[in-house]
Structure 1
Amino acid sequence: MNRDFALCVALVAALLAGCNQYERKTHALCGQPPGVEDTHRKEALDIEGKLKAAIPMRGSAGAEGKFVQSIQRTSTQIFRSTGESGFNRAREITEYRSCALLAADDSISGERKAILLVELKERIQESADKVRKDKQDCFDAKFAAEKAASIIPYEKTGGADAAGPGWKGGKNKGEETVCATIPPGYQPLGPTKIEPISCHGGRCSDGPITTVKAADGSTNICMKVKAWSESNSGGGGGSRKIRLFGEAERPITKAQTDEMRAACGL
């Protein structure tokens, strides 16, 4: 019994010594672990497991070069599966845990480890920058496509007429309100444009553009136009014709934006 107990004590002591030696090596090369290591322990262990599974066997041919390549490839996969809110945290953990794995490799000299660590950090940062750019490019493309799909044209052509006075003389007047309608859920995109089509005899005028919201949620963009005839007997009539046109957009909602961000891993 005493012998078994002594063996257990010796085993625990050896394990503790090994752990202390591992911690000393890691601290010497990598410094203190980032604070997120304590607050996100499960995530840190998960990342370490992925990195360990990817690195080549110690001492194998070309292991040093493969080590850095494997870490970069795996870090890219880690960053792709990490949302924006945890991205910087995942990068810090990946960098520290990769350094710890490098520190634990006794087949690489201390001087060589210091050189590899610089390259390792550069590769991890490259992966982080590329993944972040790819995600943003993905979101920008989806947002641009959604915005383009949310824009519709609107237009309305109309006008007013005033008949000639005939043999009796006197001025006749004509007045109409021309309205272009934008469907519910849409709003004008920029100013409404006016295309003058005709103004017979120069006897016409246009009022200001007005915007009226209808009960069904649609929007009417209107302009009052007028025309008048000559007043002398047998004089000519008048007319005015215009075209109102423009574009309307359906605002992109927060829910749509969140869905696009999630689809792109942001």
Structure 2
Amino acid sequence: MSKILITGATGNLGKATIERLLQMLSPNYIVGFGRQENRNKDLADKIEMKYGDFDDVASVDRAMEGIEKVLLISTVDHHRYQQHRNVIDAAKRAGANHISYTSVAIKDVQASLVNSHLESHIQTEDYIKGSGLSYNIFRNSLYTDVIPIYVGQHVFEQGIYLPAGSGRVAFALRSEMGEGIANALMQKGNENRICHLTGRELYSFSDIARVLSEISGKTIPFVDADPNTFPDKLKNLGVPERMIAIISGFTGDIRNKQYEIQSNDLEQLLGRRPSTLEQALKLIYH
């Protein structure tokens, strides 16, 4: 049986993937790699954990010892393409034969309002394809889990105010994406495949407001904010510049229908339908 290394193991997607792998595989075959020893400490009681940083090539090389499969969960650092290359190169040096990567499901990265943040996904995909390793690329839709960040902590009192227009997203739960990825890691015969991990249905923020209204018994309005003045409003609220750029950019991409991508890949990997928006939001706001 192949030893599998999960990077980003102390993060939410990494942990979800590991939890599913533990249902199918002896913990002796699972190795986690993370930055923070004090995060998700319970993982160290279940599997072998190694700690380091993608910028520290020696720590990545140590994590790769005896590894045959690697799941590279993308980082959020501004220089992540180089970090990803460090992992891919280390996998080759260690004699690994397969790498999987978590990318993004978007129609046109070049036209994205957060192009500078997303183009590294495409660069990483291309580097993997040219590495000589077999691969799976998981292009993930936006997580349902991040909806609370977009709508704010006072959504049930103030409603939703975003410049997202009528754009829709096939949101999916991070836990189900992790489960699907783990299932794919255990499968044979699906190498060199690109999977789009999305929900089954497309939802707008008007739909989110409707579902939150049904859940809460309150009327939650959605106000389509002016994209031109929205960043200034966030700035006046004390939101950091980098976060303003990210929120404005992603909601602008939603408005421009960049995330209107539907696929049944996640359903096939799960062996069941992914959670609906209502099911997921009930779980998040339980």
Tell me the TM-score normalized by structure 2.
0.19
Tell me the TM-score normalized by structure 1.
0.20
> Which has more strand, going by share of residues?
1
Greater radius of gyration (CA): 1
